[in-house]
Amino acid sequence: MIKYFITYCISFLFVFDAVADPADSTVTITSSKNSYEFVYNKKLERVEVKEILNSVYTSNIALNKFPVAELYSNDITIYEVEAKVDDHNIRDLKPAFSYYSADDVFFSDEKICYFPLLLPKKGSTANVTFTETVDNPRYFTTLYFSDESAVEQREITVKIPRWMKAELKEMNFGGYHINKSTSYDSKDDADIITYTVAGLPAMKHEDNSPGPTYIYPHLLVLSKSASVKDHEFKYFGSLDDQYRWYQSLAKSINNNNEIISAKAKELTVGLTTDMDKIKAIFYYVQDNIRYLAFEDGMAGFKPEKADEVLRKKYGDCKGMANLTKELLCAAGFDARLCWLGTDHIAYDYQTPSLAVDNHMICGLVYQGKTIYLDATESYLGINEYAERIQGRQVLMQNGDKYILNHIPVAAQAQNYDYETSKLSINGTSLTGDITHLWKGEDKEEVLSGINSIKKENTDDAVNRFLSNDNSDYVVKDLKLSSTSNPDKDLTATYNVEIKNGVSVFSKAYYVDLDLKKELINSAIKLGERKHDYWFEHKANLCKETELTLPANYKPSNLPANLNIVNPDYEFHIQYTALPGKLTYKKIILIKNTHLPVSKFAQWNNDIDQLAKTYNQNIIIKPVSQ
């Protein structure tokens, strides 16, 4: 299920996109040698990681303008970029260095170095080398073997002096022929670990697939401590170490308590109950602070000052969590910062590393329980949790200690998409009244769409959404409930005329009572999709339609009921003939959001049955026939 907007149309109609983006096949990485070495910088008195990243690209087409890009951050310095094409230096090579953004979202921690390579003929080669330094081993976390292009040969070498305590954790090696060798450099008193692999296919980007940490072979680098030149450095030898470092960042924020206290007082003035005050503060941050996301950046683990986020009216998850916490504390509540990794990440806090988390929220300890508040989810209420964090391990502040817990897992009932229709046949049209209700993440999908467009276009967008962008589905007298209260369900009531909704042949009416047919095109092309399919969230969809029959008419040959039930999802369709009426009821449940490749064939069979049921017309004939 993918949410999307087309011009002014909002839609969350089980649009199922299992199509893969094609991997870059214009080049092949014929050889790659990446070396990493822990070194001591005597001048700056710190441990660094020196990186030399070399790749040889071979063009598979003529006149290939191939983009080369290397991501870095504030904690990585790219010192030198070298490139040759067909053994000739590139004249006036001028790599561009800038901040990285994608999909109109600014990635505050990620930067990018990039330049084009012109490979004049098929078989042309380019030899590219980046020389870099990571200024803190904490940020040296993952080394991937796979690449955007196919890799014929890759070698990864890590040199670890014995004064450095670091561990290489092998991830997703199954199914790959990765060879490991070790040697000892007596001159530098260092261990050298070398991994080699051949024949790696290009990374395949597929919508709604697990994050790369679940899929591709990589090394998780765990830097624990160092003892060098009479200096002791402690990194993440344990989760205690990681928490202490996080806490040191939190303690150094220096929020302006006077500004925050004044705002908390303003938001809660006149409110008498604790929960009303909590909601006023949390919903204020949700509604008034714009969320600017960033990818799994190497740095940026220190939240911005709460008063700065308040002043600018935007922030990332850390800034929004810190503002929520500080406002609640100023109002007299026990609020704390919480770190966690969304379901995009395969690891948890059993592995102390900056790679295990990519998100921050606020934890509110209230009446002996913890309520987790994620202000980046703009339209979820108290005790509602997005699928991406449900069940995830969470690290919460507790003074000099920490509390390790899990975000609650919500039942599919948290989300609800419910529609009731009462229709009549009017010539070749269906007319009547419709009521629609949304809860949880279904509500959030719709409200995110409504509030992302200009106010003057809202009605048109909602109409197009309700009609599934069908010009024959005419919405009239639309009444939409408040779109600004996360505690309330979202409802829409309207009158409808479905033009050409009825076909008439020899006194018989042919009617289709389901114009949206959710999931009808969701079969997965076996052999093309390589990765599991992950739904955006659990689904609980129910559509009920009551059709008033013309006088002296009855339904003829109603489609058979459909009942598909398994632990992951359910599809139900039921037709019932009543005196003067015909009812249609559809229920679609997505109970498990992870659909593994091993279940694609069964899914396709079930979708085929669903589609066949959808495509059967209802025939209504005179009673005399």
Map out the domains of the chain with their CATH numbers.
20-233 (2.60.40.3140), 240-410 (3.10.620.30), 413-622 (2.60.120.1130)
The reported pLDDT for the residue numbered 506 is 87
Q: What 3-state DSSP class applies to 586?
A: strand
Which strand (E) or helix (H) includes residue 328?
helix 317-330
The answer for 289, left when phi > 0, alpha when psi is -120 to 50, beta otherwise, is beta
Q: Are 112 and 100 in contact (CB under 8 A)?
A: yes
Q: What 3-state DSSP class applies to 66?
A: strand
For residue 201, give the nearest of 32, 24, 56, 67 by alpha carbon. 24
Q: Which amino acid is at 93?
A: L
Secondary structure percentages of the chain, helix, strand, coil, to 5: 20, 45, 35
Chain segment 188-215, per-residue pLDDT in tens = 999 999 999 999 999 989 999 999 999 9
Number of helices (H) and strands (E) in the chain: give both, helices first: 9, 40
β-strand pairing of 473-480 with 314-315: unpaired
Please state, in angstroms and rounded to a whole number, the distance separating the CA atoms of residues 621 and 625: 7
The reported pLDDT for the residue numbered 300 is 65
The reported pLDDT for the residue numbered 100 is 66
Q: Is 552 exposed, middle or buried (0-12, 13-18, 19+ CB in 10 A)?
A: exposed
User: Helices 274-288 and 257-268 meet at what angle, rounded to 10?
Assistant: 110
Token pair in block for residue 564: 């598909």
Secondary structure (DSSP) of 145-208: S--SS-EEEEEEEEEEETTEEEEEEEES-TTS-EEEEEEEETTTTEEEEEEEEEEEPPP-EETT
For residue 520, give the nearest of 607, 443, 446, 396 by alpha carbon. 607
Mean pLDDT, consecutive 10-residue stretches, the chain (625 aa), reads 30 47 78 98 97 97 93 89 93 84 53 91 96 96 96 98 98 96 97 97 93 96 97 97 96 95 98 96 94 57 92 92 98 98 95 94 97 94 95 97 96 93 95 96 88 69 82 91 82 94 91 93 93 96 96 91 97 96 97 96 98 92 87
How many other CB atoms are there within 10 angstroms of residue 482's CB atom? Answer: 9
Please state, in angstroms and rounded to a whole number, the distance separating the CA atoms of residues 68 and 57: 10
**pTM to 2 decimals?**
0.90
CA dist list (Å): 211 to 103, 347, 534, 564 = 18, 11, 10, 30
Q: Are 137 and 49 in contact (CB under 8 A)?
A: yes
Task: State the maximum Cα–Cα separation within the chain, in Å, rounded to a whole number.
Answer: 101
Secondary structure (DSSP) of 388-411: TTTT-EEEEEETBEEEEEEPPPPP
β-strand pairing of 581-590 with 27-41: unpaired
The reported pLDDT for the residue numbered 3 is 30
The reported pLDDT for the residue numbered 1 is 28
How many other CB atoms are there within 10 angstroms of residue 177's CB atom? Answer: 10
Q: Residue 612's Cα: distance from chain center in Å?
A: 32
Chain segment 464-482, per-residue pLDDT in tens = 888 888 889 999 999 988 7
Q: Are 55 and 32 in contact (CB under 8 A)?
A: yes
The reported pLDDT for the residue numbered 24 is 62
The reported pLDDT for the residue numbered 455 is 62
